[in-house]
Structures are given as C-alpha cells and as structure tokens.
Structure 1
Amino acid sequence: MGIFTDPVIMSVIVMALLSLLRVNILIAIIAAGLTAGILSNLSLQGIIELLVNGMGEHAETALSYILLGAFAAAISYTGITGLLVKKLLRVLRGRRSMVLLVIAGVASLSQNVIPVHIAFIPILIPPLLKVFDQMKVDRRGVASALTFGLKAPYLMIPAGFGLLFHEIIQKEMANNGVDISMGDIALSMLIPGSGMMVGLLIAVLISYRKDRDYDSVGNYLTEAAAAEEDEDSRFQYKHLFTLIGIVAALVVQLLTGSIILGALTGIVWMFVFAVVPFKNGEKMMADGISMMGMIAFIMMVASGYGYILKETGAVNDLVEQSSAILGNSKPVIAFLLLLVGLLVTMGIGTSFGTIPILAVMYVPIASAAGFSPMAIAALIGTAGALGDAGSPASDSTLGPTSGLNADGKHHHIWDTCVPTFLHYNIPLFLFGWLAAIIL
C-alpha cells in the first residue's frame, strides 16, 4: 500500500485541504471519514454505520459543551462580565503582550490546578472581545495563548489532566513490556514541553505584536452582554449569587468528575435564586447551543472518523508500514515515528486517545533500536500531542474558536488552527525529536 492509497494519510490530507479552502469543518471531517473508508474497501453504507457508531463515544462530551454554553450565557446575562471588562480596560490598556501571557497563564490553570479544561473559555473570552478590539489585539495571538494553556501543562506537569496523561503513557508502555516511573515520564516531557514555551514566546513577542483592526459591528453572546457597557457598574446581589453559582458548579464538577452535573448545578442555581429570570430560560439555552452546539457536533463527528480509522486497522497498517522502512538510525527512526504521530493525531484530534494506538508499535520498535525508557516516553508523549494543536477536530482548537468567534469575527482554520499548528507542532516536533536522541 503506497502513500496515495493509505487511508490515514489521504484522509488527513483531504480534511486539511478542505479546511484550508474554508469548507465547513463538519463537511471536511465527514469527507475525511468517507476517504478513509473507501480506501479501506468499505461500502458507503458500512462507512456511515461506523461513523454513526463512533459518534456515540463523544455524546457525553457534546452534552457537556452545550450545557457549558448555556451556563456561560446565564453568567453573561447577569452583567458580571461587564464589570470585569471595565476593570481590565483600566489595568491592561496598551499592554497587549501582557494580556496574552495572562490568558496563557489562566488557561494553564485549567489543566492542573483547577482541571476544567475548556469550560472557562465561553465564560471568560466572549466578554473580553470588546477589550481585544479596543486594544487592537490580534486574536490569532489569543488563540495561540489559549491553546498553549490547554496543552503544555498536561505535557509537563503530572497533576490534574497531566497526571492522567502521564498515567496513560506509563500504562501503555508497561502493557508493551517497558516499565518506567512517573517521575521519569515527567522529566522526559520537559524537553518537548519547552518547545511549546518557545512557540508561545514567538507568537506573543514576534508574530502577533502588530495592531489588527476588527470591524466594530458584531453580535456578542447575548443581547444582555451587548448592553453591559450601559449597565450600572456597581456590584449587586445578582453578581454575588453568580460568583457563588460559578464556585458551586466547579465544586460539583471536581467532586463528581462530571462536567454535565457541574454545568447543571450552575444553571439551576441561577434560576432558583432568580439571577436569571425563569422566562429567559429558553433564550439562554438557545444562546448556549448557538455558541457551543457546533463544537459539540464537530467532536462527535470527529469521534466517528477516528472510529473508522481504528476499526479498519488503518492506523496499525500505517505504523507497520513505517516500521518496515525505519532502518537502524535512531534520528531517522525518531523522525518517522513522530511524523506518524502527527498524521494520526491530526486526524483523530485527541492526544489522550492516540497514545494507546501508537504505543503498541512504538515501544517494540524503539526498544529494538536501543532507545531508553525515557526516550520512548518522550516519543510517545510527543507523538500523541503532535497534531492536537492545529487539528481542526481537536478541543484544543475548537475551544478557543468557540470563545473568539462569539461575534463572528474569528475563523476556525485560518485564525486558530494554522497559527497553533505553526507555533506549537513545529517546536514540539523538533524538541521531541531532540529528547528522543539525547535521553
């Protein structure tokens, strides 16, 4: 099977090309799934069945995102975000680089300290769009800052989502015959993670320092959010109950491990204490679906596409083909293994879900070539993370777009995926390759 008939390679190319041509990402992912299925000799009916069956794996995630959108709409309705906007205007005016670094820092907390992942984005970012426009901030820089915070911490820090990521690496390496401690995994991922830090600094200090003007006309999250500037800026009881509701939602999520229960807690709180009038419930849900519904469906369809690749054995075939041409050179082996990881993760859109797929082949190949356990961990962790930044189907890019495009001025592919791909996948690849060679 050649490159032009490989289901993984060709389907990823199809998805990337259609996305770059501004074809709707849902259509692009479906087209990629059809391409993979046809090249795997499946019938159209069989492809659709696999696609639909695979979508069910992300049904819970889709519902979580929609409820988070509704909760974000409720918070916006109270006007509390207007207070934040006005304070930030006074403190951060003229300090664009500082704004981007602060956003990257806040996003980093969402992975380890307060593991809510993208849940904070629809609450924090839409109200700040007016601030960004007045400061002429390039939103591509904001997208880069957010994606850094959604990825780099779990690569390097074994806490929260980072602990889960490192545990998956440890488990899959053990399943394939190589034991390694959690401490060694954390050390091995410091070099690849440093590559992302370099990418962030390039994005903030070089690539997106210039002014970028956006049209003044735009529809924000809700009518209430658009009118915040004219509201009484005094702190009111509804703002206090909103803050309590946010804390309650976070506590429930952390205790139960369920984003759905956390979001529902926040929504019910807002209604029970009349922070949001009950009569506005329908509009609140409509606003939530408007903001987060698309990302929910994209995640479901992407899951179906990944299911096609796994069920047809296309990923395993690609890894096996790659292993046949690797040779004995460690630099060449590391380069090709990382390239395979980039292709697979770009298609599937999840670093966590890619590791078990790749580890089956990576561990025996790397062990036979004489790579140390830490070098193998660096290869697997980097390969899993590669492509997540920049993938049209990843929540690391869909999340930032959902917030930055609340007023319709931010394009998912050209303003989020392309910048994050260039600033993070390139240094991740280089630093991960270096780690595999020197560890």
Structure 2
Amino acid sequence: MDWSMLGNPVLLSVVMLLALSALRLNVVFSLILASVFGGVIAGLGTGGAVKAFYGGLGGGAGIAMNYAMLGAFSIAISRSGVTELIAQKLFACIGRQVTQKQIFCFKYSLIAILTLIAISSQNLIPVHIAFIPVLIPPLLPVFERIRLDRRMVACILTFGLITPYMVLPVGFGKIYINEVVLGSIRKSGMDVLNSQAPGAMLIPAAGMLTGLLIAIFFSYRKPRDYSKSATDRELREVEPKKISLFNVGVGVVAIAVALAGQFLMDSLIVASVLAVLVFVCAGVIRIRDTQDVFTQGVYLMGGIGLVMIAASGFAEVMRATGGVDEMVKVVGGFAGDYKGVAVFLMLFIGLVITM
C-alpha cells in the first residue's frame, strides 16, 4: 500500500470538509475552509488557494442560475393552485374509498401515487421540494388511518426527488446530467455525448430502486402507530384553499411551455422565463409581483445554487493541487491488469472527490 496517499491534499481536504459538515457548520463555509486548507497543504499558499477558488466560481454560475429560475417557476406553479388541487382530489378520493377490506390495495395505490408525484416534481411539474408542505400535511390523517410507517414515506420522497436526476435529462435532471456530470467530464478532456449519460446512470438508479423496494416491502412494511398526542396535533384539519380552475389551466399550459422550451431551445433558463410569462400574460401573476416570485424562487433554490458555485471553486483548488492526478496514478499502479479492482478503486476515489 502507498502510505503517501494519507498525505494527499485532496484526501485531507475532503476529510476536513466532512468533519466540518458533521459539526453542522454551513456547507458553503465548510467548502471554503477545506479548499484553502487543501491548497495550503499542497504548497499553493493561502493566496494561491484563494485565487484558484475564485477562478473556479464561474463554473458553477450557470448551474446556480438554472436553479434560481426553476425556483421562480416553482413558486409560480404553486400560486396557480395545481399542487393544491392534486392534494385535495387525492384526499377526497381517499375519504371515499378507505374501508377495512380495501386497506391493503389502497395502501399500495397511495404509495404508487406518492412515488409518481415525487418523480414528476423533478421534471413534469418541476416544483422540486415545494410540493411536500402542500401535499403531505393533508395526508397525515390518512397515513394514521391506514397505519402507514412515515419512514416509508420519507424513503418514497427521497427516491422521487433524487432518482429522476440520474436518468431523466429534463427539468432538474437536465441540470445534473448535462451541466454537472457531462460538463465536468468534458472539462477534464473527455468527449462524451448527452445521450450516453442516462444509460450509464441506470446502474446507480437501479440501486435507488432496490433500496425503495426494500423499504416498502421489508424494512417499513409493518403497520406503525404514533403517539396520540403527536397525531392529534398533526391531524388538525386546515381550511381548504379555494382553487381557480382557470389558474390551474394556466399552470398546465405553463408546464407544457416549460417542457417544450427545454427540448426546442435546449435552455432551462429561457424555458423557465417563458413559463413564468405565461402566468403574467394570463393575469395569474401581476408584472409587479414577478420580483416577489423571483425572490421566493431564489430563497427556495438559491441555497443549492450557492453550494454548487462554492463546490466549483473547491474543485478548482483540488485540481490545482495536483492531488487528483496523484490518486489516479496510485490506483493505476495498484490495480495493474485487474479491471474489476481498477473500477472499484476509481469509484471509491470518485466518491471521495465528489463528497
């Protein structure tokens, strides 16, 4: 074993990053401190590390802008009442159908519906996490009645929020696959096509699917009861919001415009702006309110965008240290002609660097 790897600036920097994150320090602060730490260890000095960090910030700016614009679109959709309508219809359907004999079928139908809604929140109706506070609280009484384990619901939401990123190059998946994954590969000098990524990502997506199935049919399959005091608090009914079908119709048109814009113009930013303009032209959102829509969109997704910008600066410092090349050479020498070992070690290094 090459013990010199223990002094690798990339490895030490990532360890520091993980330690700071585990201590609950803000992730952007952690990225900045860890990148400077790695640069100093590699001999760049504080000034060199900071300069490299600044040089890499531009690489994440486009991604951050995509997140901000999709966040604005998410806020516009939520104002149209589309997500509230879905929640109300689902809740009304549940109230009519639940009986003792139908509980088994209904439970797994509800699981399937929640999974599809979570998946759609990343592409078809790109509201990201904004649908959770709208949809889940009204369903808490239903979860209680069918004794559904809420940990299973958490797994379903996690699967739906993350897996579409991997295999569907639409909405937030377009940012991740085309901008983050393929953008980084091309920056390293490898020529790849957009169509290659989804197929390659089927393997980790299959792992996510396996985990979801284990959670649904094994880990959290058994009925679970919660304390009466907690459920009484959570199950208080909220006054249903009055929904305009016209606004919902405008929301559906805006969603179609956003999807078409992504495919025809290959620009998530332009597609999001056009979708918001649909709301403005229909009078659902006033022109002067677009400032508020954008501000709330930045509040919703801007944090993620800033993390991506800081991560881009961190990556540039790690590249400048030369530590990544050193790790790759060590792996190449250690693995020799054993392809399986080489693949495993590359995945391990990739995991360390990606953290």
TM-score (norm 2): 0.74
Structure 1 residues 73, 196: closer, same or farther in 2, change over 3 A?
closer
Quote the offset at 1:318 in angstroms: 0.8
Structure 1 residues 277, 255: closer, same or farther in 2, change over 3 A?
same
For 1:319 and 1:118, how far apart are their aligned partners in 2? Answer: 40
Structure 1 residues 291, 211: closer, same or farther in 2, change over 3 A?
farther
**Based on CA coordinates, which of the two structures has the bigger radius of gyration?**
2
For 1:275 and 1:82, how far apart are their aligned partners in 2? Answer: 16
Instruction: Give the equivalent residue in structure 2 for 1:314.
Output: 323
Instruction: Give the equivalent residue in structure 2 for 1:365.
Output: none
Question: Is the partner of 2:44 in helix, strand or coil?
Answer: coil
Instruction: Give the equivalent residue in structure 2 for 1:151.
Output: 166
**Correspondent of 2:302 among 293, 296, 314:** 293
Corresponding position: 1:342 with 2:344: no
Residues 4 and 10 in structure 1, CA contact (< 8 A), matched pair in contact too? yes
Structure 1 residues 313, 215: closer, same or farther in 2, change over 3 A?
farther
- The correspondence of residues 380-419 of structure 1 with structure 2, limited to 5 A, is none
Corresponding position: 1:38 with 2:34: no
Structure 1 residues 293, 274: closer, same or farther in 2, change over 3 A?
same
Amino acid at match of 2:216: V
Instruction: Give the equivalent residue in structure 2 for 1:29.
Output: 31
Corresponding position: 1:203 with 2:212: no
Quote the offset at 1:163 in angstroms: 9.6
Instruction: Give the equivalent residue in structure 2 for 1:230.
Output: 240
Quote the offset at 1:216 in angstroms: 9.7
Quote the offset at 1:325 in angstroms: 2.4
Residues 166 and 177 in structure 2, CA contact (< 8 A), matched pair in contact too? no
The alignment of Structure 1 onto Structure 2 pairs a total of residues equal to 320
Structure 1 residues 287, 105: closer, same or farther in 2, change over 3 A?
same
Quote the offset at 1:328 in angstroms: 5.0
Residues 60 and 312 in structure 2, CA contact (< 8 A), matched pair in contact too? yes
Quote the offset at 1:76 in angstroms: 1.6
Residues 68 and 305 in structure 2, CA contact (< 8 A), matched pair in contact too? yes
Residues 71 and 288 in structure 1, CA contact (< 8 A), matched pair in contact too? yes
Amino acid at match of 1:29: L
Residues 110 and 150 in structure 1, CA contact (< 8 A), matched pair in contact too? no
Instruction: Give the equivalent residue in structure 2 for 1:423.
Output: none
Instruction: Give the equivalent residue in structure 1 for 2:66.
Output: 64
Q: Deviations over 1:348-394 (max 9, x none)?
A: xxxxxxxxxxxxxxxxxxxxxxxxxxxxxxxxxxxxxxxxxxxxxxx
Instruction: Give the equivalent residue in structure 2 for 1:10.
Output: 12
Structure 1 residues 274, 200: closer, same or farther in 2, change over 3 A?
same
Quote the offset at 1:200 in angstroms: 2.3
Quote the offset at 1:217 in angstroms: 9.3
Structure 1 residues 83, 50: closer, same or farther in 2, change over 3 A?
same
Residues 54 and 303 in structure 1, CA contact (< 8 A), matched pair in contact too? yes
For 2:38 and 2:135, how far apart are their aligned partners in 1? Answer: 40
Amino acid at match of 1:230: P
Question: Is the partner of 1:232 in helix, strand or coil?
Answer: coil
Question: Is the partner of 2:284 in helix, strand or coil?
Answer: coil
Structure 1 residues 12, 117: closer, same or farther in 2, change over 3 A?
farther
Residues 144 and 200 in structure 1, CA contact (< 8 A), matched pair in contact too? yes
Question: Is the partner of 1:230 in helix, strand or coil?
Answer: coil
Instruction: Give the equivalent residue in structure 1 for 2:134.
Output: 127
Structure 1 residues 244, 194: closer, same or farther in 2, change over 3 A?
closer
Structure 1 residues 54, 217: closer, same or farther in 2, change over 3 A?
farther
Identity %: 27
For 2:21 and 2:231, how far apart are their aligned partners in 1? Answer: 24
Corresponding position: 1:252 with 2:255: no
Instruction: Give the equivalent residue in structure 2 for 1:266.
Output: 275
For 2:293 and 2:10, how far apart are their aligned partners in 1? Answer: 40
Amino acid at match of 1:42: L
Pick which of 91-100 and 315-324 moved more.
91-100
Residues 107 and 149 in structure 1, CA contact (< 8 A), matched pair in contact too? no
- The correspondence of residues 72-111 of structure 1 with structure 2, limited to 5 A, is 72-91=74-93, 98-99=109-110, 101-105=112-116
Higher relative contact order (CA 8 A, sep 6+): 2
Quote the offset at 1:246 in angstroms: 1.9
Quote the offset at 1:295 in angstroms: 0.8
Give structure 2 stretches of 5+ with no counterpart. 145-149
For 1:286 and 1:241, how far apart are their aligned partners in 2? Answer: 22
Pick which of 247-256 and 143-152 moved more.
143-152
Residues 66 and 269 in structure 2, CA contact (< 8 A), matched pair in contact too? yes
Quote the offset at 1:47 in angstroms: 1.4
Question: Is the partner of 2:346 in helix, strand or coil?
Answer: helix
For 1:33 and 1:215, how far apart are their aligned partners in 2? Answer: 45
Structure 1 residues 40, 71: closer, same or farther in 2, change over 3 A?
same
Quote the offset at 1:275 in angstroms: 0.3
For 1:216 and 1:306, how far apart are their aligned partners in 2? Answer: 48
For 1:217 and 1:7, how far apart are their aligned partners in 2? Answer: 50
Residues 309 and 315 in structure 1, CA contact (< 8 A), matched pair in contact too? yes
